[in-house]
Amino acid sequence: MTLTVKIKLLRVLSIVQCWIALWLIVLGIVERARIDWRLSGLGMPIWTGVWVAITGSFGVFITFRHLQKLSNTFIIPQHLAMTFMGFSLTCGLFCAIIMVLNASELSDAGKKTFRIYTGNNENFRAVNVPFIYDSKHKEEHALIGSIFAFTVVELILAMWSAALCFINDRQAPLTNVS
């Protein structure tokens, strides 16, 4: 009996998702412990890591335990593939939210000054204030950058897994007919 390329790829992607989930949870805990609440919010990397772990575990479960035998190959049942696709799309959405929330913080990393507006209700003026980085700011940006990188990788994995779920294993491959 042979496994289809879809099943092999989903196995690998699910295992890598479990590994990424571990890193997201650890980095999320470090973020909550080390960085002020303005960046962490509700610990979004932790909750996203938990959801990615559930998704990856479900993918591992269905690709190793719940395969159906069809003639000379194995296939994933359609309802399980679509459930996995839904989990993967949700992971991608959570990762996109983290990326949007952290993008402004990462864009400040290269700036030398930032602009603040002062004044009363009638007269506003813009003032450029020097942006001073110390070791704590560098640590914060490194942590946010690593979370951002892991969410980019997870977004790619989640969308790839969701796209693979659209492949129909029951259909015979096309052949050249002369």
Per DSSP, the residues of 11-60 read: HHHHHHHHHHHHHHHHHHHHHHHHS-HHHHTTTHHHHHHHHHHHHHHHHH
Band (pLDDT 50/70/90 cuts) for residue 159 is very high
Question: In the chain, where does DSSP find H-type helix?
Answer: 5-34, 37-40, 44-64, 78-107, 135-164
Report the number of distinct structural domains present in the chain: 1
In a domain, 42, yes or no: yes
In a domain, 152, yes or no: yes
In a domain, 44, yes or no: yes
In a domain, 177, yes or no: no
Structural domain containing residue 36: 2-164
For 1-32, what is each residue's pLDDT tens digit? 577 788 888 899 999 999 999 999 999 888 88
- The set of residues, in sequence order, having a beta carbon less than 8 Å from that of 17 and lying 6+ positions away, is 52, 53, 55, 56, 59, 91, 154, 157, 158, 161
Q: What is the dihedral of CA 45, 149, 104, 26, to 10 degrees?
A: 30
In a domain, 145, yes or no: yes
**Cβ-count burial of 122 within 10 angstroms (0-12 exposed, 13-18 middle, 19+ buried)?**
exposed
In a domain, 108, yes or no: yes
Q: Is the pLDDT of residue 46 over 60?
A: yes
For 64-86, what is each residue's pLDDT tens digit? 887 777 777 777 888 888 899 99
In a domain, 94, yes or no: yes
pTM score: 0.76
In a domain, 170, yes or no: no
Tell me what pLDDT residue 131 has: 65
